[in-house]
Structure 1
């Protein structure tokens, strides 16, 4: 059935097709006739925008690479127009052509990020051109909306094909399995995170089964022996001992975290949180922050330290500016005291908060006489008044004082 522009784009999608093709097929077939005379001007507009927006493509496009980019743009435009008429010659060619584009970009030393930026720039240029054409011919808004969705779905699909081609070429060029796994480790720890398609393709090339959960372990040499012995870990654990911040990634935390101390001779380790593979960089971030706490003497000095055991410490110390702001707000009454008085009364207040006001327990914790505790609490009552009876205020005071105790610092003096 031939669909006209005035008809709503609600025809059934062809089965077994990708989302972009489904959207193109839902558009009125009359649009294909309207668009075909614009195929060449649209392709030129896209190429101009790509070269303007992406510095890597601003140079003259010459040789095999240039020919392929021009061909890819022309084929993309024609494929979209053909899809409106549901011609059968397009879909299979999309994958082959744009996989080859990704391979060619890698072969010529190009950047995958620049290629993806070029696709996005081309999509924007195509949409602007179509929008101008649609307004000139008074296309219904619903048709233009579907057209926009189809353009950007198509950009996403051809971009994924090129990512696959680029990653496959990268894996082939890398050569050995060890190198492929090192590259996979880099992609897993990349920030911003690599796309799932890239990770899946590289994992396949590295013969590494993508797990549901991973844990990253940050390492630090404990001895003068450089380098320390290699960790004794399973074959599927990804290892980087050569970088400035050594680390491991285990695809099986339940298996590898048991008895970890005995498999890391000469190393101090900090275990990050368990996360999905796409969030491995976050696990590494917190593992390294935990290792920093150990170096600063704020998390003990065990061979293996787990981030999960120090979440409250991380939370209290996550931002010094916020700590100082909170301290200035809730501990302002200390600002009128001498340094000695501040130290004495702040430790008493924290102990009072931690022991729910129990005089005997405070006296034992601070090593002072109960009568001294009562005298200090009386001073605190004069300073803070009703705030000591407010649960929210007490929590803020305890947070601020606990953080300063960890850091070995005093609250800033004076109210802001």
Structure 2
């Protein structure tokens, strides 16, 4: 079996001053203890008492990770074979004990951060330049990514002997990409090789929504390059070429809706998936057809990105409305938005709102009394318009909920 791990971290560590490794050696136990504590606190799969085989494996894994890192500093001749075989064995053990790759990856990531936090004050107290500190910090995360990739190799060796290995690998690969692609390039490459999947530079995330009673999703229409998880409570896909890959679904999505994110670098996949899931809130009138293309609704999705930001903007931009009744706020809000969007006169706004021009004139005078010179300021007008449009969108998405006017 040919492995994809290049172990760049070993070369990076060898270029650091050997004296740095000697200075850090007495603190290996301290850093390992910090790793263990943080892993048990943050990753539920490893929160069991440190007893028996489980306890020994976790403790030894953390200790060897820190010890080998320190041993490699300034020494290009350190042997790595036993370290590599140990973490491949760790991967095989994880599979045998029924744990997935996500807690394994999470434990390595949070453990690395904890170890670096424990070591950082010591490194900064030494007589080394900022370039050395920066390289040491970067090497920690490259080292951990390669450690994860090594455990994945062992995991996949054990998994290959089980039935259905490829679908499992593809699903775990999708989970990793959709949750933690940053700093996981080596782990993704290892998983992708075992899953027979070519890693693209860019991709789109597709959120799926099933109506009650709908038949199963027509996955047979998808190209083999499309990764998918159709069994979770929020099913989704990853495709490098959405226009081509989703074309066969156009007439075959009976009872399903899909929202397609923009095509983004793989590192932005988690944000792309959040955006696609947000797009599923759009009504069928906003996005006719079973497939919603986020690229056609970017302004709307941006306004809906964070509810609390829209509320905070409204609080700052529309504060003169606070003294009014809900009905007054509603009437003046629609008039203010119409004026901001058109900058037309009373007759034009009246026609747009379906009211008498004199009614509009009265409302515009009220708005001038409430907002004063703020209506002449371009930045203030932009804030008002964004806040009002966000409120309108949220009312449309939650028609049964009262929408405050401030």
Using structure 2 for the length normalisation, give the TM-score: 0.74
Pairwise CA distance, 1:64: 9.1
Return the offset for 1:209. Answer: 0.8
1:288 aligns with 2:277: yes
Structure 1: unaligned runs, 5 residues or longer = 1-16, 135-140
Q: Deviations over 1:294-350 (max 9, x none)?
A: 3xx783453111222222223333344443443344334434444443333322222
Equivalent pairs counted in the alignment come to 371
What whole-Å deviation, never above 9, does each CA across 1:230-271 have from its counterpart, x for those lacking one? 361111111211111111111223422556523534311111
Gaps of 5+ in 2: 1-9, 41-45, 396-401
Distance 2:121 2:388 in 1: 58
Q: 1:72 to 1:356 in 2, by over 3 A?
A: closer
Distance 1:178 1:245 in 2: 18
* 1:316 counterpart (293, 297, 303): 303
Return the match for 1:365 from 327, 349, 352: 352
> Within 5 Å, which residues of 2 pair with 1:12-161?
18-24=11-17, 55=40, 59=51, 80=73, 83=75, 89-90=77-78, 93-94=79-80, 96-109=81-94, 111-115=104-108, 141-142=127-128, 155-156=140-141, 158-161=143-146
C-alpha separation in 2, matches of 1:335 and 1:120: 46
Report the secondary structure of 1:357's partner residue.
coil
With 182-191 and 234-243 compared, the bigger mean Cα shift is at 182-191
**Equivalent position of 1:184 in the other structure:** 173
Distance 1:131 1:355, change over 3 A: closer
* CA distance in structure 1 between the partners assigned to 2:219 and 2:370 by the alignment: 58
Residue by residue over 1:349-408, the C-alpha shift from the partner in whole angstroms, topping out at 9 and shown as x without a partner, is 221222212333212211223343334333333443333222222222222222222233
Distance change in 2, residues 1:118/1:404 (3 Å) = closer
Give the superposition deviation at 1:58.
Answer: 5.3
Contact 1:331 1:397 in 2 (8 A): yes
1:227 is aligned to 2:216: yes
Q: Bigger CA drift: 228-237 or 268-277?
A: 228-237
1:172-321 aligned within 5 A: 172-175=157-160, 176-191=165-180, 193=182, 195-222=184-211, 224-230=213-219, 232-258=221-247, 260-294=249-283, 299-321=286-308
User: What is the SS of the residue equivalent to 1:381?
Assistant: helix
Contact 1:102 1:165 in 2 (8 A): yes
Q: Paired residue for 1:406?
A: 393
Q: Matches of 1:235 and 1:313 in 2, distance apart?
A: 32
Aligned equivalent of 1:12: none
| Structure 1 match to 2:367 | 380
Distance 1:370 1:172, change over 3 A: same
Between the aligned partners of 2:187 and 2:248, the Cα distance in structure 1 is 33
What is the distance in 2 between the residues matched to 1:224 and 1:43? 57
Q: Tell me, in whole angstroms, the C-alpha distance in 2 between the residues paired with 1:323 and 1:302.
A: 28
Structure 2 counterpart of 1:10: none
Structure ID, larger Rg: 1
Q: CA shift at 1:146, angstroms?
A: 8.1
Match 1:166 to one of 151, 155, 159: 151
**How far does residue 114 in structure 1 lie from its aligned partner after superposition?**
3.6
Matched, 1:330 2:330: no
C-alpha spacing 1:361/1:218, structure 2 compared with 1 (3 Å)? same
